[in-house]
Structure 1
Amino acid sequence: MTAVATPAVQAQAGEVLAPLDEVADLAPHSPARGVLIALGKGLAIAVPVLFLTTLITFALGAFSDQDPAAAVLGEVATPADVERMRHEFGLDRPFYEQYGSWVWNALHGDLGSSWFTNIPVADSIVERLPVSLSVAGLALAIALVLGASGGIVAALNRGRFVDRAITAVSAAITTVPAFVAGIGLIIVFAVLIPVFPTGGYVPVSAGIGLWASFLVLPAFALGLDASADLARQLRTGLVGSLDENYVLGAQVRGLPWRRVVLVHALRNGAAPAIAVVGLHIPRLVGGAVITEAVFQMPGIGQLTRDAALRGDVPVIQGALLVAVLLVLVSSLVVNVVLARLLPASGRAA
């Protein structure tokens, strides 16, 4: 039987949709303005954050108890040799001169050289960065696919068994650390069922299939927590959107239910989930240290860990700087996406 809207319902729908028509008239200008405002606010926060993080990072290395000159030369070095090496490293200069010189060189792509290998830090990072970006990128994609699918299915079946099952599984996944998930995945899918390799990495030039096979397990281990949080937040936001009056108005106008859910309700209910994705991106970058250690992947995380064990400060500073830049850029992207989805926030500002 086809539902027929009464005049009272049609009048209510018209009142609900009238403000939406007015918003549509402003749409050509609002998204761009909201994006620019979000970008400006993000840059206003990112610049001082970047300054403070570089200052703190450099200060931790400069004021540490370790004497890099003595560590590089070894126990047989004479005091004169140590002083000569400190001069070569520039450690005999005041702190502000060392920091200013490091920032100036970093702006020109020079992050210094390793104290122990003399390999330029920038070269080491360029060599290792594709590994970490591949794992983090695939982990983010897995989180988006699993989290979005689970959240939408749970919201459309709220109160039913499917909704409760997805919510329970998501809550359980959030309690499992990435390294525990990684070990479990290795035991199941690399030892008991030898489908994927236990660890290592090959470049994409060796073949996309072979390259992807080394990324699947670490990416799943790293992205499960994000997918669980995303599913829960998207489920909550979409349930709230489906209860709004504009959904009723869209149904009265005869719009297909799939369009109502995936275009109108999802756009308004996805903001909290996107914010959660923004919060998880730093965790994906930071979690690479543990994940790469579990799967023996030569990425930025392993580079930073090895440098920290031997006290190679320039490498640590360069790796942390790149990690901070990745987090800040991802935060800007998330803010722009939120402004694009919710242009009204830009107009209100």
Structure 2
Amino acid sequence: MRRARHTLGRFLVTLARSVAIFVPVFLVATFVTFALRSLSGLSPARIQLGEEATPEAVARVEAQWGLDRPFLIQYGDWIGGVLHGQLGVSWTNGADISTLIGLGLGVSLSVATFALVIGVVVGFVLGALAALRRTTWVDRAITGFVTVISVMPAFVVGIVLVAVLAVQLNLFPSAGYVPAEQGLGPWLAHITLPALALSFDVIADVARQLRSSLVAAYRENYVTGAVVRGLGPRRIFFVHVLRNGLGPTLATLGLKFPALVGASVVTEWIFGLQGFGRFANDSAQAGDVPAVQGVLVVSIALVVAFNLVVNLVLARVTPAAQRGV
């Protein structure tokens, strides 16, 4: 009972510390995001009326959008809406931005989550195997493999996967997306190739970081002490080496998931997906500032939320994090 209370207390302390850090970061980031509209010089009047619009017409349209009010008042209204899940209205079509982002975010989150799972599982196996067989041909082969895949762009991998697995072998659909509600099988079939294309970078980062961390952990005194006490190699690896070597690897994942969501625009074009990255690209090209701001806010929220989860996992899994080191 005492141990459970101690664990809960440590969890709550870690949660409070993380929130105390991430809330100011979120507010500062959203303020900078909103300030970008003023710095961009873009206006809904230019989109709706064209570049030849008269100053009077521009002023009238901007007043309809509330852009004639003081900057801080505009920011206050906007951040209030953001905190209530309202990201504003698109300048180009008047649609609700939260709805537009929600339509594409589900696609990108599906692909990014699957890519992260593939990257973590394969990277963990490769990194652990390289560390256990360090300085052998297995270690060198794995190191060479992850070095090669780390420099392969996702769009090149995607094109190769489509050509081989979709066109030649007909194992997967080459494009499109099916929601999970319409069947788990079709959903997995449509997200597998884009997820594989995005997973190579995660595999390389996880494998390299985990291998380095585990090799360093094997050199620590507590491993020598465990060997002297007669503990078996498996117990030493899972109880001592792995728990202490996971920290840096988990930390590298803090930005991986949001990066996968945000960097998927080229992959989404290749596989014909109407996702979050493609929506962000289209909004930026159209000069739709509220939509771009909404994309940035969601991206910031993903970064903050995922790093919060990583911090909590670190506090639970790694001994150093539990001691507040």
Length-normalised TM-score, structure 1 = 0.85
1:121 is aligned with what amino acid? I
Residues 178/259 of structure 1: CA separation in 2 closer, same or farther (3 Å cut): same
2:318 is aligned with what amino acid? L
Q: Tell me, in whole angstroms, the C-alpha distance in 1 between the residues paired with 2:272 and 2:215.
A: 42
In the alignment, structure 1 segments of 5+ residues that lack a partner are 1-25
CA distances 1:199-240 after superposition (whole Å, capped 9, x unpaired): 221111221111111111111111211111111111122222
Q: Does 1:222 align with 2:222?
A: no
Which one of the candidate residues 46, 54, 69 is aligned to 2:22? 46
Residues 347/272 of structure 1: CA separation in 2 closer, same or farther (3 Å cut): closer
| Counterpart in the other structure of 2:281 | 305
Q: Does 1:102 align with 2:78?
A: yes
In the alignment, structure 2 segments of 5+ residues that lack a partner are none
Q: Does 1:67 align with 2:43?
A: yes
Q: Tell me, in whole angstroms, the C-alpha distance in 2 between the residues paired with 1:338 and 1:170.
A: 25
Tell me how far 1:309 sits from its aligned partner.
1.0
RMSD, aligned CA: 2.3
Tell me how far 1:112 sits from its aligned partner.
1.0
Tell me how far 1:331 sits from its aligned partner.
0.7
Tell me how far 1:321 sits from its aligned partner.
0.3
Q: Does 1:200 align with 2:185?
A: no
Q: Tell me, in whole angstroms, the C-alpha distance in 1 between the residues paired with 2:298 and 2:284.
A: 16
Moved over 6 A (4+): none
Sequence identity, in percent? 48
Residues 129/343 of structure 1: CA separation in 2 closer, same or farther (3 Å cut): same
Structure 2 counterpart SS, 1:270: helix
Q: Tell me, in whole angstroms, the C-alpha distance in 2 between the residues paired with 1:30 and 1:166.
A: 41
Which moved further from structure 2: 177-186 or 160-169? 177-186
Q: Tell me, in whole angstroms, the C-alpha distance in 1 between the residues paired with 2:29 and 2:266.
A: 22
Q: Tell me, in whole angstroms, the C-alpha distance in 2 between the residues paired with 1:178 and 1:348.
A: 37
Structure with bigger RCO (C-alpha 8 Å, 6+ apart): 1
Larger Rg: 1
| Counterpart in the other structure of 1:185 | 161
Structure 2 counterpart SS, 1:278: coil
CA distances 1:106-133 after superposition (whole Å, capped 9, x unpaired): 1122111111211111111222211111
Tell me how far 1:159 sits from its aligned partner.
1.4
| Counterpart in the other structure of 1:262 | 238
Residues 159/132 of structure 1: CA separation in 2 closer, same or farther (3 Å cut): same
Q: Does 1:273 align with 2:253?
A: no
1:177 is aligned with what amino acid? P
Q: Does 1:90 align with 2:66?
A: yes
| Counterpart in the other structure of 1:20 | none
Tell me how far 1:62 sits from its aligned partner.
2.5
Q: Tell me, in whole angstroms, the C-alpha distance in 1 between the residues paired with 2:81 and 2:216.
A: 50
Residues 248/64 of structure 1: CA separation in 2 closer, same or farther (3 Å cut): closer
Length-normalised TM-score, structure 2 = 0.91
Q: Tell me, in whole angstroms, the C-alpha distance in 2 between the residues paired with 1:321 and 1:279.
A: 15
Which one of the candidate residues 113, 129, 140 is aligned to 2:116? 140
Q: Tell me, in whole angstroms, the C-alpha distance in 2 between the residues paired with 1:197 and 1:329.
A: 32
